[in-house]
């Protein structure tokens, strides 16, 4: 993709400065590449209401359906994964055993294709899980998506009248990255190691243009400090490359948490004239080199993690397990939490 022109930059700056941009529920995602080929992906989940998030372990060999009616996409999971759910009807975040990470974020400008192609349907609630189940690398996923093997179908989240409008980021253990959006009914994929950061509105191409403006100023001179998506994009882009490239993985994870906390919205903060900008409810940091999935709730005092290397993902003996995080993710967990997961029947993805 060519670099956006100056006219796009000017238009985006005018849009954001004038407060006319369409604001969305605020999340941030970034990819950190450290010393010794270490790769870490961090994200925040910012939403106006609690989405009933819990953590799940899924083994290989699970029979899946796109939950889109008679002509639904069907597949068998090739990779086991650890995921964060929403309402236990959707996968919003997670990492698979190969080190592929998928993060689902809000994008108000999303427009999905009409379902008239004859292709099998995939409910947006299962979009993230489809990626984690099927692919080990970003390149493999992007090549598979090039032929658009399914039609993505959206619906309203529980208790809401608006449709879920989302975009998806992928990163892998090599540091490769992709951003997948649906703009005016067309799939748009930005693929490359340089696409380290994703937030919300405006669309990704315009976010890149805005970031060029702040990059020219320089992060040590001035950075935008509001909770707007474009400002969080600029801060994450600067800090993810400014933090030390430590050879100590403990320091790298600490630095990654520092970045994602920097672009989080303090709990309880609301913006009266922009009601969809929301507090950060939880954060995840996925160490794709060591296969550790860290989780931090805004309402619990401790960070805990799941070690994917210690999980039995085999289809013969592996089991679906769930870690109950409690209402508003207030249940306190600390340290490695593998043993605290309990065997549970898998949830059914929200159908359309």
**Pick from 307, 308, 309, 265: which is nearest to 283 by CA?**
265
In angstroms, the CA 194 to CA 237 distance is: 10
DSSP state of 184: T
CB 53 within 8 A of CB 83: no
The angle that helices 6-17 and 204-217 make with each other, rounded to 10 degrees, is 90
Residues assigned a catalytic role: 27
How far apart CA 48 and CA 68 sit, in angstroms, is: 27
Cis peptide before 102 (omega within 30 of 0): no
Between β-strands 303-307 and 335-336, what pairing exists: parallel, antiparallel or unpaired? parallel
Give dist(CA 157, CA 136) in Å, integer: 29
Angle between helices 229-242 and 249-262 (to 10 degrees): 160
* Interatomic CA distance for residues 21 and 277, integer angstroms: 12
């Amino acid at each position: 993709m060519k670099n956006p022109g100056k006219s796009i930059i000017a238009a985006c700056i005018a849009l954001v400065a004038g407060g006319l941009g369409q604001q969305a529920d605020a999340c941030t995602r970034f990819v950190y590449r450290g010393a010794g080929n270490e790769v870490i992906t961090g994200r925040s989940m910012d939403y106006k209401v609690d989405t009933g998030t819990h953590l799940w372990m899924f083994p290989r060999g699970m029979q899946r359906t796109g939950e889109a009616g008679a002509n639904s996409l069907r597949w068998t999971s090739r990779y086991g994964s650890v995921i964060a759910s929403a309402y236990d009807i959707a996968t919003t975040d997670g990492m698979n055993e190969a080190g592929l990470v998928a993060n689902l974020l809000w994008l108000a400008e999303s427009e999905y294709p009409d379902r008239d192609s004859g292709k099998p349907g995939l409910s947006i609630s299962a979009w993230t899980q489809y990626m984690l189940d099927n692919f080990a690398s970003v390149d493999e996923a992007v090549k598979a998506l090039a032929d658009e093997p399914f039609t993505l179908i959206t619906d309203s989240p529980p208790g809401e009248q608006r449709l879920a409008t989302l975009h998806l980021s992928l990163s892998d253990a090599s540091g490769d990255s992709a951003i997948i959006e649906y703009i005016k009914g067309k799939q748009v994929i930005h693929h490359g190691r340089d696409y380290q950061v994703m937030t919300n509105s405006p669309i990704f191409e315009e976010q890149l243009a805005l970031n060029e403006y702040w990059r020219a100023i320089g992060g040590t001179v001035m950075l935008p400090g509001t909770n707007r998506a474009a400002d969080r994009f600029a801060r994450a882009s600067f800090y993810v490359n400014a933090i030390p490239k430590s050879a100590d993985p403990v320091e790298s994870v600490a630095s990654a948490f520092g970045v994602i906390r920097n672009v989080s919205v303090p709990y309880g903060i609301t913006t009266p004239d922009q009601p969809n900008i929301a507090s950060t409810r939880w954060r995840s940091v996925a160490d794709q080199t060591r296969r550790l999935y860290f989780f931090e709730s805004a309402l619990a005092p401790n960070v805990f993690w799941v070690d994917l290397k210690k999980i039995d993902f085999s289809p013969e003996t592996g089991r679906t397990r769930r870690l109950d995080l409690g209402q508003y993710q207030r249940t306190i967990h600390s340290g490695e939490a593998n043993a605290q997961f309990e065997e549970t029947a898998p949830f059914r993805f929200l159908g359309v």
